[in-house]
Amino acid sequence: MNRRNNKNVGKNKRGKGKHIHDDVTRGLTTRELSYWLLNNSVRGSGWIFNHYADSILGHEDVIYYERDGTIMTDVLKESLQQDLIPENVEYVYSVFLDYQKLIAIISTKSKHYYVIKNINQIYERQQKVAKLAHQFPDINKMTDDEQLMALAEQEKKEKERTGVDTFSDRFEQHVSSIWMSKSLKDTIKLLSSQERKLLMIKKPEQMKFSKIDRELLNDQKVILPIDFIFKTYEELVPLWRKYLEYGRNELRLGDIMAIDSDFIDKHSSGIENNKNVKKLFMNQNENMKSYEWLRHFPNIEDVMILYTYQLTNEHVANICKYCPNMKKIRMSRCFRIDVRILLDLFKLTNIQVITLDDPEFVCQKNTYSFLINDEEWNGIMCESLKSLYLGSETITNDLMSYIFESCPNLETVMLNDRTLGNKILPYLINGNDMTETIKIIGIPSRREFTYFQQIKVKTTARGMSKELFSDSMKRVIEENKRRIEMKNSQ
């Protein structure tokens, strides 16, 4: 059969087959496909989807489709709207997000899969003006009213030709659709080739599994994060305990979304292998509301927490309390923590590496308002710390002065390029200990500066006498502090 000349190829009897794209999942089981998506597709914006699921799923213009492209009846749509509340989202397999487009693959506790497409297209008058420049050579010299008249005339002609009224000074086209399926394979077929490319979902011949991947998938004793999907509470309990008993030396909780912190605390006691757990990895798991459960894993040394927006300073204090042997910690894009977490991290006697990778990480409100005062810094000594990365753009020379004094054995300090060049380098004073050096590195440029140990920093506000300011200036400073505090509390 010549497919090129057969117009009916790819369509079902209802003519809806055009919504079903090429099968890129041939030969893969659902478990293998889930594992591949987990480890290879785009998933970095999953936390944003979780956080804004209400507005994404509840948009008034959203259109619900069945797998074959049929628009759902109101009865079925109402049922699925209840299924798609954030509390029922079981797993986020893949998410692409930019300023104009969201594409997500999710599943819910009802064992349904969904493709969510949320596209926002904005058209400006200026874009239309540019398109009409060849018809109206002087259009850029026209007044706004004259441009509008020219555009209206052109739109009128276009409407007469097409029957569609498209004139608008500025209009927004919102295309939001949700597609339901009962299998992950069929869900992938609902994506166009361009959409699969954005999600980095490859063709079947390119979905390769390493030898280690195959061993993990084939080992009956190994419990993977994907094995927690679509399980009842009664099924989750023995599965979780088996996961701990036969697990390696790490907890990867970023991809186990079916359980929460209370569940872990309740069902993790009395397992011999817990003492062998050395690493904790959490990524975008909003079910972790507290961290007392860490008491069951006393030997954790390496902690990585990424894109966990609910994490607070108090949570970090608890992590330090229950992980006293911690040697390394990395936190990135945890938007509710600030520089005060250093007070708890610097008290850890074995900490060697601290990475706080977030340009918006708050270190100081302003030049004269510290988040950690002199009294709190007194007595803080972290002799074990070797490497510190602060990606914040609000670091000051005063803060670095405190850090250098509190961490005398630092070997490497990495700072945001902008912060390093403008706020730190001009104030650094070489140390007196010529036997040891410390490297100051700019990120991402990797520019490197070497200083002798016992490095000093010229400070701006630290240690200044309170009598330095007049009474009127003090009132201005206090008023500015009050305004900032009011703004932050809103």
- How many Å apart are CA 142 and CA 50, to the nearest integer? 47
**CB distance 387 to 352 below 8 Å:** yes
Strands (E), 266-379: 279-283, 302-306, 328-332, 353-357, 364-366, 369-370
Q: Is the peptide bond before 444 cis (omega within 30 degrees of 0)?
A: yes
What integer pLDDT is reported at residue 100 of this predicted model? 73
pTM of the model: 0.74
**Contact indicator for 479, 366 with CB cutoff of 8 Å:** no
Domain 219-484 is of which CATH architecture? Alpha-Beta Horseshoe (3.80)
Res 255: pLDDT: 80
Instruction: Please tell me the distance from the alpha carbon of residue 1 to that of residue 122, in angstroms, as a whole number.
Output: 44
- One-letter identity of residue 58: G
> Using only C-alpha atoms, what is the Rg of the chain?
29
Of 230, 345, 336, nearest in space to 286 by CA = 336
pLDDT value, residue 471: 65
Pick among 1.10.1060, 3.10.450, 1.10.10, 3.30.160: CATH of 9-123+172-206: 3.10.450
According to the model, what pLDDT value does residue 125 have?
Answer: 47
CA 44 to CA 135: how far, in whole Å? 45
A 10 A CB-CB count for 240 gives 22
pLDDT at 171: 44
CA distance 220 to 211: 16
Question: What pLDDT is stored for residue 350 in this prediction?
Answer: 97
Q: What's the pLDDT score for residue 238?
A: 95
Domain range summary for the chain, segments of one domain joined by +: 9-123+172-206, 219-484
Task: Confirm if 260 and 279 have CB atoms less than 8 A apart.
Answer: no
- pLDDT in single tens digits along all 490 residues of the chain: 333 333 333 333 333 434 444 455 557 888 999 999 888 888 766 666 766 666 666 666 778 887 777 888 877 877 777 888 777 888 889 888 877 788 889 998 889 999 988 776 444 444 555 555 555 556 556 665 566 667 667 666 766 666 655 544 444 455 678 888 889 988 998 888 888 998 999 876 678 888 888 888 888 888 888 899 999 999 999 999 999 988 778 898 888 888 999 999 999 999 989 999 999 998 878 788 899 999 999 999 999 999 888 899 999 999 999 999 999 999 998 888 999 999 999 999 999 999 999 888 888 776 666 788 888 888 899 999 999 999 998 888 889 999 999 999 999 999 999 888 888 888 898 988 888 899 999 999 999 999 988 888 887 666 554 444 556 666 776 777 777 677 666 6
Closest among 362, 441, 383, 374 to 401, alpha carbons compared? 374
